[in-house]
Amino acid sequence: MNKRKICVVTGTRAEYGLLYWLLNGIKDSNNLELQIIVTGMHLSTGFGHTYKEIENDGFRIDKKIDMLLSSDSSSAITKSTGLGMIGFADAYEELCPNIIILLGDRFEMLSAATAGLFAGIPIGHIHRGETTVGSLDESIRHSITKMAWWHFVAAEKYKNRVIQLGEDPNRVFLVGGMGVDCIRKSKLLDRVSLEKKLGFKFNKKNLLVTYHPETIEKQYSQKFFKALLDVLRKLDDTQIVFTYPNADSGNNIIKIMIEDFISSNQNSIAFKSMGHLNYLSTLSFMDAVIGNSSSGLIEAPTFKIATINATINPIN
């Protein structure tokens, strides 16, 4: 009996963390063959070459698609998306997967989905039907939904939204949030081990800050993030842990602002990528999460940790 080839695409550190247990399940199956395509931020030095974490976890990477241009302008993101489509077209032709699994709503996934659509390969799309008003993610997410055959959603309202988009209810599955599964299955590090591994000490109060550039109202990102940093500077007895932004248009200035903040604040530290286990372990010791990362809306509540959703468009 031939194994069915399940091709999973990953382009970011956060996305891989969510996919980790799914990848393990496919890898351990007697009836499935796991194929992994790595792209986007995973292959960038500026974002920590996180493909190495995937390899260190014991997975074989079948294809690496280097699509990110060094610039973070809107034009560069558009060109990166086009390069990605070319790379995925070649990869699918060689790997011949039976199904492509995509998670998320970034431009890397748009490239992967478009190439898969024209190749005639069924697409399974995870975390569908959600909404992020005022973000390019909104348009990309629903576009991929229309290209996908199977839809895996985290909540009943998201299931209803996918069906409202015209998708067959028999192909929409309510499976819950993958971030919750990761927390329940992972053996988190204790405080002392984590401090030793990451090279910093927790304080009386601890905040985790992740701020991604606004992808539509870009002109406000720098001003908004500056206002947030001005507030953080006033905090005493507080360890501030930054994680770098995603590779969206305008990310470079956010990174520079983080580095400038750290240079004048000894109770702060930044990471290009912590790795999924280190991130969840760190999150478990935080007093609050600040920023516009989806982890503040899924993983943080699972730990019963408060989130300050700092974004221009708070409806998501």
Report the chain's mean pLDDT, rounded to a whole number. 91
Mean pLDDT for the stretch of residues 129-155: 86
Identity of the amino acid at 79: K
Mean pLDDT lowest among 5-9, 41-45, 247-251, 309-313: 309-313
With a CB cutoff of 8 Å and minimum separation 6, the contacts of 301 are 307
Contact 24, 57 (CB under 8 A): no
| Residue 266 reports pLDDT greater than 60 | yes
DSSP state of 296: G
Mean pLDDT for the stretch of residues 204-233: 86
Edge-to-edge strand order for the sheet containing 32-39? 63-65, 32-39, 4-10, 99-103, 123-126, 150-153, 172-174
> 190-217 pLDDT, tens per residue?
999 999 999 999 999 999 999 888 766 6
Which CATH architecture fits 191-309?
Answer: 3-Layer(aba) Sandwich (3.40)
3-state secondary structure of 152: strand
Mean pLDDT for the stretch of residues 224-229: 90
3-state secondary structure of 72: coil
Neighbours of 265 (CB within 10 A): 15
> 150-190 pLDDT, tens per residue?
999 999 999 999 999 999 999 999 999 888 899 999 999 99
Question: Would you identify the CATH topology of the domain 4-185?
Answer: Rossmann fold (3.40.50)
Residue range(s) in the chain whose domain bears CATH number 3.40.50.2000: 4-185, 191-309
- Alpha-carbon gap, residue 87 to 304, rounded angstroms: 41
First to last CA, the chain: 45
Give the model's pLDDT for residue 222: 83
